[in-house]
């Protein structure tokens, strides 16, 4: 039976890992800080996937980011998805060569379907995750791209249909309003979308405590991600995992 | 010497990380002599069958791998690498594989009704045939990410995984092994698969 996944999302910008709240970024620490406070090899034993996103609004150097990806994954033996600023097949290739199993593409799905298609043709649909950031505006769930800066004026479900037509492996669905608040996921929207789409959905935005994961993983949502460095530091992820398993969520089992 | 075949496709970095963790010496190469002299080959693979097969042929690796198999070299195909070892794939058309194991690679969405495609995440592998590099009999969890599955057309050792139906998630035919999952992404379960592969003796 397919298990659910507990995912950690690392937000990276210009040398530092970041904390995000409603898409405002705050510097937390560099890779040394991460290794000291997170000891990634240890922490990665309690999660099922790592997502690393380059959220740098100014420069997006794929080679430099690739080196960060390489370093973060060098001691963890779990799937890694990398993304942020992927504009072409070459950007994607750098990330795969650095150790990424999947890449996450957000803005490109809207700005150039052809480039996304050529990436899919080369690397396979299952290797491409579409990141979608959304926010409720006047009662409509509206999609934003470009780090949450560009309002597309497209409703979430219509946008997802467009994405499905281009081709996609999974959808990373991120609530901009819940982002960083620690008050739980946008269960209503995520449940609605998960039940509707034929591809796996990863819930993102709002995780603050282990209970939040139970709510969101109790139905067809395939995986839940948190980017909250502070809430899950130290033994946080290990405890969350134990709590989820004790409460009936089927997560992968290791002979450790 | 263990050779990881480098043909510009696949997450070779993660595989090399596991081997380094195990303290195993390896070569990441497509050099013909190195391949012919090795006693263990790993064929990684991420992406689409057609482009991957084209790359193997361009580098002359299809011939080398077939020769190595005949020389009783142990071969481990991972994910797309497993699929490439077989006869034919129907991903985006019809593509001939290396033909070391007789069978077809087919899309999930023609067979399963209500589950999502691709099959992504951790699922358990039931090793009923006793394939020696996999855990004995347990329902051990491994990481999968694929939209196509292998259906054998000859009698070989297989392990299965359930995703609406039981599909072949690993096989062994003499010295040729294939795993649909990613052992390099499957925590300690996966590391043990590599360890057992390394310990195989001719």
Check if the beta carbon of residue A167 is closer than 8 Å to that of residue A14. Answer: no
- Supply B27's token pair: 């070569």
| A77 to B46: CB separation less than 8 angstroms, yes or no | no
Q: What is the torsion angle, in degrees rounded to the nearest 10, for the CA atoms of residue B107, residue B109, residue B114 and residue B120?
A: 50
A119 CB contacts (<8 Å, ≥6 apart)?
A86, A88, A89, A92, A103, A105, A128
> What positions of A carry a catalytic annotation?
133
Q: A4–B121: do the CB atoms touch at under 8 Å?
A: yes
**What's the number of CA atoms in the CB half-sphere (13 Å) around residue B101?**
31
Mutate to test the interface with A, among B118, B126, B146, B169 (most CBs of A within 10 A): B118
Please give the backbone phi and psi of residue B69, each rounded to the nearest 5 degrees, phi first.
-60, -40
Of A1, A102, A254, the CB nearest to B189: A254
CB atoms within 10 A of CB A231: 18
Residue of B nearest to A256 (CA): B188
Angle subtended at Cα B64 by Cα B61 and Cα B70, rounded to the nearest 5 degrees: 145
- Which residues on chain A place their C-beta less than 8 Å from a C-beta of chain B? 1-5, 45, 48, 70, 73-75, 77-80, 96-102, 121-127, 169-170, 197-200, 222-223, 251-256
Name the minimum distance, in Å, from the CA of B172 to any CA of chain A.
Answer: 23
pLDDT tens, residue by residue, A69-104? 988 878 788 999 999 989 999 999 889 888 888 999
B164 is catalytic: no
Return the higher-pLDDT residue of A233 and A90. A90
Please give the average per-residue pLDDT across B56-76, as a whole number. 94
Give DSSP secondary structure letters for A88-104: SHHHHHHHHHTT-SEEE
Residue A13, SS3 per DSSP: strand
Distance CA B73, CA B111 (A): 35
Could you tell me the pLDDT band of residue B196, with boundaries at 50, 70 and 90? Answer: very high
Determine which one of B73, B104, B146, B184 is catalytic. Answer: B184
List, for residues A96-134, the tens digit of each pLDDT value: 888 888 999 999 999 999 999 999 988 888 889 999 999
Spatial separation of the C-alpha atoms in residues B146 and B150, rounded to whole Å: 11
Query: What's the gap in Å between the CA of A80 and the closest CA on chain B?
Result: 8
Which has the closest alpha carbon to A128: A172, A161, A193? A172
The verdict on whether B73 is a catalytic residue reads: no
Mean pLDDT, chain A, whole residue set: 90
Above 70 in pLDDT, residue A178? yes
Residue A40 has pLDDT above 70, yes or no: no
* Residue B126 predicted with pLDDT over 60: yes
- What pLDDT, on the 0 to 100 scale, is given for residue B48? 86
Question: Taking residues B80-107, what's their average pLDDT?
Answer: 96
Q: Are B23 and B17 in contact (CB under 8 A)?
A: no
Nearest to B13 among A1, A97, A125 (CB): A97
How far does the CA of residue A1 sit from the closest CA of chain B (Å)?
6
pLDDT at A41: 66
The average pLDDT across B22-27 equals 96
pLDDT of residue A172: 98
Q: What pLDDT does A256 receive?
A: 54
Name the residue among A147, A152, A145, A95 with its Cα closest to residue A123: A95
């Amino acid at each position: 039976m397919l298990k659910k996944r507990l995912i950690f999302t690392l937000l990276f910008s210009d040398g530092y890992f970041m904390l995000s709240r409603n898409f405002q970024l705050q510097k937390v620490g560099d890779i040394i800080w991460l290794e000291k406070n997170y000891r990634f090899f240890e922490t990665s034993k309690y999660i099922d996937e790592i997502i690393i996103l380059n959220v740098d609004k100014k420069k997006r150097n794929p080679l430099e980011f690739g080196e960060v990806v390489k370093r973060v994954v060098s001691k963890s033996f779990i799937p890694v998805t990398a993304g942020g600023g992927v504009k072409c097949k070459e950007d994607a290739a750098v990330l795969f060569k650095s150790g990424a199993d999947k890449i996450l593409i957000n803005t490109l799905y809207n700005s150039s379907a052809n480039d996304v298609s050529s990436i899919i043709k080369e690397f396979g649909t299952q290797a491409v995750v579409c990141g979608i950031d959304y926010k409720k505006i006047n009662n409509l769930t509206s999609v934003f791209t470009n780090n949450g800066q560009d309002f597309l004026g497209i409703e979430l479900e219509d946008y997802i249909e467009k994405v499905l037509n281009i081709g996609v492996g999974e959808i990373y669905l991120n609530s901009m309003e819940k982002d960083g608040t620690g008050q739980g996921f946008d269960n209503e929207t995520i449940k609605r979308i998960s039940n509707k789409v034929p591809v796996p959905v990863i819930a993102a935005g709002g995780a603050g405590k282990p209970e939040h994961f139970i709510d969101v993983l109790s139905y067809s949502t395939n995986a839940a991600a948190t980017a909250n460095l502070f809430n899950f530091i130290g033994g946080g992820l290990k405890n969350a995992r134990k709590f989820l398993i004790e409460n009936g969520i089927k997560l992968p089992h290791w002979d450790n | 010497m263990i050779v990881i075949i480098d043909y510009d496709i696949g997450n070779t970095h993660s595989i090399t990380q596991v081997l380094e963790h195990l303290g195993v010496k390896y070569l990441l190469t497509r050099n013909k002599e190195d391949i012919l002299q090795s006693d263990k080959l790993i064929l990684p693979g991420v992406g689409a069958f057609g482009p991957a097969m084209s790359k193997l042929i361009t580098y002359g690796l299809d011939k080398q791998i077939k020769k190595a198999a005949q020389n009783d070299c142990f071969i481990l195909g991972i994910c797309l690498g497993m699929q490439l070892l077989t006869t034919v794939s129907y991903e985006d058309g019809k593509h001939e594989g290396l033909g070391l194991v007789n069978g077809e690679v087919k899309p999930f969405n023609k067979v399963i009704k209500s589950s999502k495609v691709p099959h992504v995440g951790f699922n358990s592998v039931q090793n009923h045939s006793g394939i020696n590099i996999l855990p004995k009999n347990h329902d051990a969890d491994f990481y999968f990410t694929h939209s196509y599955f292998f259906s054998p057309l000859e009698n070989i050792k297989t392990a299965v995984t359930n995703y609406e139906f039981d599909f072949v998630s690993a096989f062994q035919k003499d010295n040729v092994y294939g795993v649909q999952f990613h052992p390099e992404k499957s925590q300690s379960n996966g590391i043990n698969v590599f360890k057992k592969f390394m310990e195989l003796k001719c």
